[in-house]
Amino acid sequence: MAVTVSMTINGQAVRVAVADRTLLVGLIRDELGLTGTHVGCDTSQCGACTVLLDGRAVKSCTVLAAQAEGAVIVTIEGLSPPGGPLHPMQAAFSLHHAVQCGFCTPGMIMAGVALLQDNPDPSEAKIKDGLDGNLCRCTGYHNIIKAVRACAATA
């Protein structure tokens, strides 16, 4: 059964018909071609699919596309304009070598952005709490935490 959903993704109004069981991550990747949002586990364990939904970090593999009706969604592609400067969190990840294989990076960045929206000057413990549920398979946590802290310091 198909449903039509309307939302704003990365500043663009979107209206698309999808199967009623379509996950938000499927809509983002398969229907809209925004492949920066990764599918790592499909079970809400890894956080690679984290996006901002109405300003809150959510794992898009746990949200039906229909549940996002009317929402404002930002994916990793929406943090900075094409060809424009990097978002401060993206720049901090680059500067502090917080990327190894890169698979977790979009989800980590989106979780970090949401964290700093809620707490612009988090302690290391608060950063760890804010990134909890986002897994790095390469054990790059030290530099990821350093990048989020550096981004907070520049804001």
Residue 145, pLDDT above cutoff 90: yes
Condensed to tens digits (0 to 9), the pLDDT of residues 37-87 reads 999 887 889 999 999 999 999 999 999 999 999 999 999 999 999 888 999
Domains belonging to the chain, first-starting first, are: 2-78 (3.10.20.30), 88-154 (1.10.150.120)
pLDDT in tens, 108-141: 999 999 999 999 999 999 999 999 999 998 877 9
Single pTM value for the model: 0.95
If we measure between CA atoms, which residue out of 68, 70, 78, 25 comes closest to residue 50? 25
